[in-house]
């Protein structure tokens, strides 16, 4: 198979993937290619205008009216193609926006060999044995209910006395109750005796008993 056929088939595969919903990688590749193409177009147009500026355009338009060439010469006027560049940029922006909305993330296919899911025998997995808890103790027996005999206490029948009176009944006046005088109040407590403070004058020198009336001056007594 020739390289041209391989290249064309690869291009068709890339274009088919883009129109069916590009992946993130394909969208990045297209964006990079467009950026490279725009940079190349910028350098190409810059080189073209530089070559046009190098020509002797003043001599070429020497016979033209002044108002016809007041801005720039047509060969060196970069604004002459502004409409074309605007339409090209608008088309590229709309195309990239449409591709960005159509980006699709495909799940990677997992290759399962044939017969890999076929099980020859059913493998029985025995659950691990765990220690069984001891059985709960039996519930306690219910309490025995004993019947209590009803011991009825015989009630005493009250004896009623006849208290009815008539015209001939004599009612005696009850004896007067003597009211006892209240007891006298307790006597007041005796007054407390004030203790006399022992105070001894020390201005005079002490003397032996029996010498209090002896003469002598105070200076002699001190000696």
User: Does pTM top 0.85 for this prediction?
Assistant: no
Residues 6+ apart with CB under 8 A from 55: 75
Task: Judge contact between 34 and 92, C-beta under 8 A.
Answer: yes
Task: Judge contact between 102 and 22, C-beta under 8 A.
Answer: yes
Residue/partner pairs of 20-28 with CB below 8 Å, 24 or more apart? 20/104, 21/102, 21/103, 21/104, 22/99, 22/102, 22/103, 22/104, 23/103, 23/104, 23/105, 23/106, 24/103, 24/105, 27/99, 27/100, 27/103
Could you state, in order of their start, the residue ranges of all structural domains in the chain?
Answer: 7-101
Q: What angle, rounded to 10 degrees, do the helices at 24-54 and 3-20 form?
A: 110
Q: What is d(CA 73, CA 60) in angstroms, rounded to the nearest whole number? A: 10
pLDDT tens per residue across all 223 residues of the chain:
433 433 344 444 444 444 566 777 888 888 899 899 989 988 988 888 777 765 666 666 656 655 454 556 666 666 777 888 888 889 988 988 888 888 877 777 888 888 777 776 667 778 788 878 888 888 888 888 887 777 777 777 877 777 777 777 777 777 887 788 888 888 888 888 777 776 666 666 667 777 766 655 566 555 5
Task: Please give the structure tokens belonging to residue 68.
Answer: 């016809």
């Amino acid at each position: 198979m020739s390289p041209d056929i391989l290249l064309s088939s690869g291009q068709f595969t890339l274009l088919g993937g883009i129109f069916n919903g590009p992946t993130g990688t394909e969208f990045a590749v297209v964006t990079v290619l467009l950026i490279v193409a725009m940079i190349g177009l910028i350098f190409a147009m810059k080189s073209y205008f530089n070559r046009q500026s190098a020509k002797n355009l003043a001599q070429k338009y020497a016979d033209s009216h002044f108002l016809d060439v007041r801005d720039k010469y047509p060969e060196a006027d970069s604004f002459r193609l502004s409409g074309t560049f605007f339409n090209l940029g608008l088309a590229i922006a709309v195309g990239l926006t449409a591709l960005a909305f159509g980006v699709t993330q495909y799940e990677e296919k997992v290759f399962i060999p044939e017969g890999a899911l076929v099980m020859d025998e059913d493998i029985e997995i025995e659950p691990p044995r765990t220690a069984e808890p001891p059985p709960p103790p039996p519930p306690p027996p219910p309490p025995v209910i004993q019947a209590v005999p009803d011991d009825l206490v015989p009630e005493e029948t009250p004896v009623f006395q006849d208290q009815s009176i008539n015209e001939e009944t004599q009612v005696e006046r009850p004896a007067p109750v003597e009211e006892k005088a209240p007891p006298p109040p307790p006597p007041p407590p005796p007054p407390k005796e004030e203790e006399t403070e022992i105070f001894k004058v020390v201005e005079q020198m002490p003397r032996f008993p029996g010498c209090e009336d002896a003469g002598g001056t105070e200076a002699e007594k001190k000696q």
